[in-house]
Homo-oligomer: A and B are copies of this chain.
Amino acid sequence: MSIPVRMVERLSGYRRHLRRWLAEGRDRIYSHQLGSLVGATPAQVRRDLMTIGFTGSPARGYDVGGLVGKIGTLLDAPERNSMVLVGLGYLGRALLKYLTGTHPELPIVAAFDIAPQKIGRIIDGCRCYASSEIQSVVRQEPVLIGIIAVPAEAAQEVADLLVRAGVRGLLNFSPTRLQVPPGVHVEDVDISISLEKVAFFARSKNRRLETQA
């Protein structure tokens, strides 16, 4: 079964909120409740759960634990996967701290930078190597994903190194369209675009409200 992109996003969102729901001690949820948690319509939620083959009961809703598990079988790797991070500027360090705290199942096993004062040190629990060592370090264990948190000028070069080292996915924080061979997935997190989006919609909503008045 093939899952559309937007649905992967929603499933990921569902799971995060379901875990909180569980943590609050509630083990059942209705589609409209889950919908309002993540900002989706009840119909959308039901459709998604139907698509992944998870069924609930009209009387009691969906079993939260079971659903978290089901989403896990779809989104998580059967085997343990790991990541490497390239670029230990402020962004890189923010990612390192955030991801080691919240995503233990996708550990960052090595970091890379070009600044001599960082190389060889252990930063936030993660060993930092020279970027030139990407090949040799990554090949020692199966690394699924490379995170690119370097300036735009260096991004393509880093991507090439990572791909050559065998990485299968790139999470790219630089504002560059990376050139990669088929079989490697690139996910862009483009802050400039997000920024221009908020600015645009903040203003246009504004205008709409004013003209209503």
Contacts and interface: CB of A to CB of B under 8 A. Distances in A.
Interface of A: 3, 5, 8-9, 12-13, 16-17, 37-39, 74-77, 81, 89-91, 93-95, 97-99, 102-103, 106, 144-145, 168-171, 175, 177, 182-185, 187, 189-203, 205-206, 209
A177 B10 CA distance: 13
A135 to B, nearest CB: 19
Contacts of A97: 89-90
A-side binding surface: helix, strand, loop or mixed? helix
B170 A198 contact: yes
A209 B182 CA distance: 9
Contacts of A94: 89-91, 94
A144 B75 contact: no
